[in-house]
Chains A and B, each alone.
Chain A
Amino acid sequence: MSDQPLLEVSNLRVAFPTRQGVTEAVRGVSFTLGREKLGIVGESGSGKSMTGRSILRLVPPPGIVTADRLAFRGEDLRDASEKRLRAIRGSGIAMVMQDPKFSLNPVMTVGRQIAEAYRVHSKASAREAKRRALEMLEAVRIRDPERVYDRYPHEVSGGMGQRIMIAMMLIPNPDLLIADEPTSALDVTVQMQILAILDDLCGQRGMGMIFVSHDLNLVASFCDRILIMYAGRVVESCPASELRDARHPYTRGLLDSLPRLDDPRRDLPVLTRDPAWLTDDAPPEKAR
């Protein structure tokens, strides 16, 4: 493994000009990512999704992305051409969104979509692509890949759809996967199974991963490192195992407001938001 980080982000900003002025969804986020699972946690409106999307320049117009540095394997993504970016989107960085129904083409069988995704980035024959697609369906633990290959997206369940999505995104063998709430719409047991697949793939292929989620417990148990975002900024960053000892009052407040099975306490402490959180910088991460 080289010393170069997989992804470097410095002072990332996403701004939306509106009639009332400019709204900043992301206000100066910096992090570096190695071959690890990085969780980005926050409530709705915290800018966590925009952070994930802006890396691939998938911010909807009129959003404007700026950064002091935004580099993937040392290559600057800020002024990459649209063509180069398309190449990176397929084979270098992949993205999985929350709802597979919107990301799959409804009039093409799922197998063909996966095979197409493979052929776009490699010059494989149709037969070879099909073989790889079936392998990939098996890798995401679909029991009967041959049958699922010929199904249309509306004929599969939500959990299956998400697995197919992941298969499609991972078939070009990307180095980095950005997963935006990939399991939030799914039942807990299915959610765990899909996370297990992602976990294995990260481990086997040495893939880096950015996992965007609102679920603190999930991220703490799944990721290696966590960024906690509030109002477009990172207010705290810590190793996942140390989330319980988080220092920022916002993180503490979020943790406290979660109902817990092992805690018979009834009234939940309510988060009071401090305006200072809007401007405070994240305390430096403790040395690991």
Chain B
Amino acid sequence: MRDKAAVTMSDASPPWRAWLTTDTPQSRLQARLGRAWTGWRTFRRNRLAMAGLLIVLALVVVAALAPLLAPHHPYEQDLANRLLAPGPGHWLGTDSFGRDILSRLLYGARLTLMIVALVAVTAPVVGLLIGTVAGYLGGWTDAALMRVTDIFLAFPKLILALAFVAALGPGIENAVIAIAITSWPPYARIARAETLTVRHADFISAARLQGASSLRIILGHIMPLCVASLVVRVTLDMAGVILTAAGLGFLGLGAQPPLPEWGAMIAAGRQNVLEQWWVAAMPGFAIFIVSLGFNLLGDGLRDVLDPKGD
């Protein structure tokens, strides 16, 4: 019975879907799109992952449209209306300078997104490169690269980031650099572990027998297999990156006033946390939601991308 139902369903599906799911694609493009479509269908079945994706997309939309969405300018001070409770006019209240917290959060989304994006395009790339090269070449290269990685791993992440910021000077760019420098070693370890599992696979031997150079094998054969688990890990780590950035902001070493960075906003609300809880709680809540979003997204991506699931 169910067999029959499945057949009639696929009969009724629109032609574009048949084009995507065919077993005999006619071109490179069709084959790639078909793969992407299958992945998307796996992803879509995970409701929580979809929720994560929506949160992350919402963050992007909010960051892009902040000037349109925000009711006030994030720096506009109004000392007569300082520390107002949430209510009409200021939906999330105001801070100790009378600035609208909602507007500051919306603009702050841009900073958060920038930090996340910058870390995401630097640390994993460095880690991937070091890990795959070390894993594939082995021997002395491996020993040297992995000892450097171990040295970085030996320091607590936040302390190391603090040291870098202290050396480079406070500021959001330096905070990003510090976070990136301290977060690549785990990616290098993952990439190396993945590389070691495929290094002796027959398809790598086959590539060597085609005359492929080590560079070609690392770039074309090994990296694509490591990328999946790295993407998952990076997404899961994004929550940690946001928190580290917020932590640096909280300690006064990240974004400097009057930038509406969420961690710095919590720090500023610290003095009034007992009486005017919303000043610190609202940015905290924003960090919580976005971190959760990235975590859920990472979980869903694992189902789609993790090669072990194939």
Contact = CB atoms under 8 A, between A and B. Distances in A.
Direct contact of A and B (CB under 8 A): yes
Interface of A: 17, 20-22
Contacts of B274: none
Interface stretch (B2-10, B226-234, B275-283, B293-301): B2-10
11 contacts: A17-B2, A20-B6, A20-B10, A21-B2, A21-B3, A21-B4, A21-B5, A21-B6, A21-B7, A22-B2, A22-B3
Contacts of A17: 2
Given A17-B2, A21-B4, A21-B6, 8 more contacts: A20-B6, A20-B10, A21-B2, A21-B3, A21-B5, A21-B7, A22-B2, A22-B3
Nearest to B4: A21
A64 to B, nearest CB: 12
Contacts of B7: 21
A17 B1 CA distance: 12
A158 to B, nearest CB: 19
Contacts of B4: 21
A133 B10 CA distance: 57
Nearest to B42: A19
A21 B6 CA distance: 5
Contacts of A22: 2-3
* Centre residue among A17, A20, A21, A22 by max chain B CB count within 10 A: A21
Interface string B1-21: 011111100100000000000
Contacts of A21: 2-7
A21 B5 CA distance: 8
A182 to B, nearest CB: 26
A17 B7 CA distance: 14
B278 to A, nearest CB: 46
B309 to A, nearest CB: 15
A17 to B, nearest CB: 7
Contacts of B6: 20-21
A22 B3 CA distance: 5
A21 B7 CA distance: 8
A283 to B, nearest CB: 27
Contacts of A20: 6, 10
Nearest to B45: A19
Contacts of B2: 17, 21-22
A13 to B, nearest CB: 13
A22 B1 CA distance: 9
B3 to A, nearest CB: 4
B34 to A, nearest CB: 16
A22 B5 CA distance: 10
Interface string B113-157: 000000000000000000000000000000000000000000000
A17 B5 CA distance: 13
A26 to B, nearest CB: 15
Nearest to A18: B6
User: Can you list the 9 inter-chain pairs with the closest CB atoms, starting with the nearest?
Assistant: A21-B6, A21-B3, A22-B2, A22-B3, A20-B6, A21-B2, A17-B2, A21-B7, A21-B5
A36 to B, nearest CB: 36
A66 to B, nearest CB: 14
A17 B2 CA distance: 9
A21 B8 CA distance: 11
A184 to B, nearest CB: 20
A284 B254 CA distance: 82
* Centre residue among B4, B6, B7, B10 by max chain A CB count within 10 A: B6
A24 to B, nearest CB: 8
B4 to A, nearest CB: 8
A20 B38 CA distance: 13
A170 B305 CA distance: 43
A21 B11 CA distance: 13
A20 B7 CA distance: 8
A139 to B, nearest CB: 39
A217 B15 CA distance: 48
A231 B5 CA distance: 22
A22 B10 CA distance: 14
Nearest to B6: A21
Nearest to A20: B6
B125 to A, nearest CB: 35
B86 to A, nearest CB: 46
* Centre residue among B3, B4, B5, B7 by max chain A CB count within 10 A: B3
A20 B6 CA distance: 6
A286 to B, nearest CB: 35
A145 B6 CA distance: 57
B45 to A, nearest CB: 9
B74 to A, nearest CB: 48
A278 to B, nearest CB: 14
